[in-house]
Structure 1
């Protein structure tokens, strides 16, 4: 059976689950669907929902923040509004020297549309994309 028949969930390693909870729940507003252990940490993981479905595993691990690649992308209908809301909650957009960003930190996306990046406290990178 192909993997396309099964649900998919992104997993993000964080160095401190308490600090991560403040970011993912407090700043991003993601709802907790489940919490539980991570390795030897009794309450070291969370499953967060997006669009009504389980979407993101966040767990405490020594491997946190080890990649510079974008780990998760949200496809949004109003990029400016979402960036404004995140900025109001204290989330800063990441600016890369190789791209021209507008004052909000939004840049043109390859192939059309627009994109903005932000990071969690461990430096895990996330993107927001919109077709317009």
Structure 2
């Protein structure tokens, strides 16, 4: 009963604001405000608010949400652990890393930073391009 009264008051206030907006010749905004103002009374008339109130104040429902949250947490943690354990699709080696066999045992790999191989002339070409740009600008 209290919920219905609050919804009627909200709707009446919203419709009053819509009327003031329409008086100022802003009909599109007034129609939009009226649409928002009718939502609380519509929810009260359908009985959805009573269902929501029963849902919010029931401890069993909150316990159910806690169990769902725990389930989601377990899925997330196990997925993160699984991603750390499984090798990447390209054979376990990511870009810029090289695998080196260790003498610790067969099948054991030690990952280290690999140097990117460049051609001998690429550094000279880059410097020549930079020099040309600087000369073009008079620097």
Classify the TM-score, shorter chain: under 0.3
TM-score, normalised via structure 1 length: 0.17
TM-score by length of 2: 0.17
Of the two, which has the highest radius of gyration? 2
Larger RCO: 1 or 2 (CA < 8 Å, sep 6+) = 1
Q: Which has the higher helix share?
A: 2
